[in-house]
Structure 1
């Protein structure tokens, strides 16, 4: 009995070739960094200061860095520094990320606000970094959320910034169709006989309404971990899908609870995380493995 020969389409062959090349790139990065604290087929977690680990990355090896650094506001995981020292510290690791970023790569930086003595109660950190970043600022995205600090003498703060930096202003990854918003008010509206809206959905704009990860009895988010400042998975997934190439390599130098790696694994990217605290490394690793087990149980 003759058995049918299964052949791959050109698209499938190209996809598998890209995956093989990325896997080889990923393994070379791990070899340069040394033995990780935790790892899987497509991810690795390293315990250590990101400034030391970033210097070990080959130049041009990372497609996207997505991270949220300490804000210098006294959280349990940070040392509060004099403001000039904090800005110098930020500029140092941003410069190292720039060196490690591919020619068409990007940095997506989530930052909040900080008090500035005798100048501002709450100033956006990007205002203090504006001339210290070697990347090209492509766009500022406003992340708007519901839960937050309550206030009586000023408006309740309900946003943070995502700064989309690219290395080359003319060549970068932007997968708009992968992050379009399907909630279109008038999907069938036409102009001169043509649909005015993309049938996939609308551009999500530069204001993103995504819930924060909440804590507390009766109101904690399902994805909540013991980490005190956790990235929401919805936010991470939108960034990973929209701003990194399929089968790309994503870095988070302040890994925290591991949300970036979780999102990367859900959407086929490779990922590397740096985290200075061993207990946070363990939280991230346990969360990621639990997510992988849940995904495997669906098939």
Structure 2
């Protein structure tokens, strides 16, 4: 990536080459993210296309029998408007099971889309719907939960929500994944927060879907290093570890991500794409009960899965559908462009 030079101002310590390596070396020019990465725009083999059409039709009919007509359903993307508690209760009465759930609930910090609760009420509420998800999950299924921090009165200001929720369901906690990013809130009397957590749960810790080869990182520092005459690293790359570096969906003049929607809490497609690849297979059913702007839905459909989303607010449902249609248009344009060459 091309480096951008920064003018030096010796009157400011942070602008001096002797103190700031970015000034000395130059910074990478900002590249705004696309509506969707090219990895989600690739055409599927004809055999997979046929299976996806059949699976989508089957899942849609099963859902209609227990949940009624969806807010929107097309091309593997199914969205219901309503409260997750009631929708999950109705879903549990059907034969349809979920292969993977990926979601990020409200953090109980006063956002526009949540109602205030005490910490204990919040824990009880989360425990209830987490156990509902367990009930509708396939025996070898997984649950990835993205959570941040909240305030516990008289105890702590930035308490990691995983401390409060990790054992509040029947799921088995396999591990915690740290998602770190560069941009974020600036603070004066504490360190600036630059990470959130993903809790990786499974239903059966002895048998669950995990496709490591699909998410290996090819950026290996010493790719040709050998031991006893054999290459040390897998030819597909290294295990990406439990610390993930993905930029947040940014806002601001000249720096806003193209995937940004009007939804106030949107996690990036890059993160959810890795989770979908790791913990599901093609034609699997993937649920997001706090669908929001449907990042989970975009990544799921782009990778050949069937998406089921629940969203309480109609305006967010409309944002999600508009985003999905924009994604499908971009996907079609990508196909047509490839065919030209």
The reply to whether TM is greater than 0.5 is: yes
**1:16–1:282 Cα change, 3 Å:** closer
- In the superposition, the TM-score normalised over structure 2's length comes to 0.81
2:326 match: 290
Q: 2:110 aligned with 1:78, yes or no?
A: no
8 Å contact from structure 2 (residues 147, 162) kept in 1: yes
1:138 match: 174
Distance in 1, matches of 2:290 and 2:242, equals: 24
Superposition deviation, residue 255 in structure 1: 0.5
Superposition deviation, residue 29 in structure 1: 2.9
Distance in 1, matches of 2:46 and 2:257, equals: 38
250-259 or 239-248, which moves further after superposition? 239-248
1:35 match: 69
**1:279–1:110 Cα change, 3 Å:** same
User: Over residues 43-62 of structure 1, what are the superposed CA-to-partner deviations in whole Å (9 max), with x where a residue is unaligned?
Assistant: 11100000010111136600
The structure that has the greater radius of gyration is: 2
Q: 2:148 aligned with 1:107, yes or no?
A: no
User: Over residues 238-295 of structure 1, what are the superposed CA-to-partner deviations in whole Å (9 max), with x where a residue is unaligned?
Assistant: 1111111221100000000111100011100000100000000000000001101110
User: Over residues 112-138 of structure 1, what are the superposed CA-to-partner deviations in whole Å (9 max), with x where a residue is unaligned?
Assistant: 000101111111111112331210001
8 Å contact from structure 2 (residues 59, 96) kept in 1: no
In the alignment, structure 1 segments of 5+ residues that lack a partner are: 1-10
Distance in 2, matches of 1:204 and 1:247, equals: 25
1:5 match: none
RMSD: 1.9
Count of aligned pairs between the two proteins: 289
- In the superposition, the TM-score normalised over structure 1's length comes to 0.92
Q: 2:232 aligned with 1:232, yes or no?
A: no
- Superposed, 1:144-183 pairs within 5 Å as 144-183=180-219
User: Over residues 154-191 of structure 1, what are the superposed CA-to-partner deviations in whole Å (9 max), with x where a residue is unaligned?
Assistant: 11111111000000001111111111111011111111
In the alignment, structure 2 segments of 5+ residues that lack a partner are: 1-44, 336-341
